[in-house]
Amino acid sequence: MKRSAFYSVLAGALLILSVSACNNKVNEPEEKEEMEATTPKDTFSLEKAKTEIIDANSEFASLFNEGDSTGVANLYTDDAKFMMEGSPAITGRENIQSAIAGIKNSGISRVDLRTIEVWGDEDMVVEEGELTLYREGVEVDRGKYMVLWKKEDGQWKLFRDIFNSNLSSD
């Protein structure tokens, strides 16, 4: 081998080495992108979650007003707690369905739900809100509530639901 040919091969080998060594490093920005893609906390929008919860409340009210207690109960998680005045916490979808049917049968024909504020992340959101109850179109009660919403299969479900009346019982 001539000396010039040796240097030529050496230069070529170093070029290949430098390209392949740098290729290993080139992968890292891709890894970073993947990391970001698998960190949904960065892309979570509380404003969007609020809109979704307002929509879920509209559905809740529509189903309640139509007398569909099974439909309302299906908006709760299977292990939800419905925490109403005058009873220990009512646990589980089946018992919640009975409680909702009971409220409806007591003469409450319509409920209005108004979201005030929400806090949370992509898995759980706490909502503070106000409610109004009607009997044959006449307002009979007004109250406040807190709901802990849980995301299940991409849908917000009521997981804890507590409320009370603003009206004095005296």
Q: Are 133 and 139 in contact (CB under 8 A)?
A: yes
Residues in region 101-140 near a second copy by CB under 8 A: 119-121, 124, 126, 128
> Could you count the other beta carbons within 10 Å of the beta carbon of residue 77?
18
Task: Say if strands 124-135 and 155-165 run parallel, antiparallel, or are unpaired.
Answer: unpaired
Of the candidate residues 1, 26, 137, 154, the single one contacting a second copy (CB under 8 A): 26
- The C-alpha atoms of residue 138 and residue 80 are separated, in whole angstroms, by 30
Residue-level length of the chain: 170
> According to CB under 8 A, which one of 104, 145, 151, 158 is a site residue for a second copy?
145
**What's the distance, CA 163 to chain centroid?**
20
By CB under 8 A, name the one of 58, 62, 87, 105 that touches a second copy.
87
The contact set with a second copy (CB under 8 A) reads 3-4, 6-8, 10-11, 14-15, 17-18, 21-22, 25-26, 28-29, 31-32, 35, 41, 81, 83-89, 119-121, 124, 126, 128, 144-146, 148, 160, 162-170
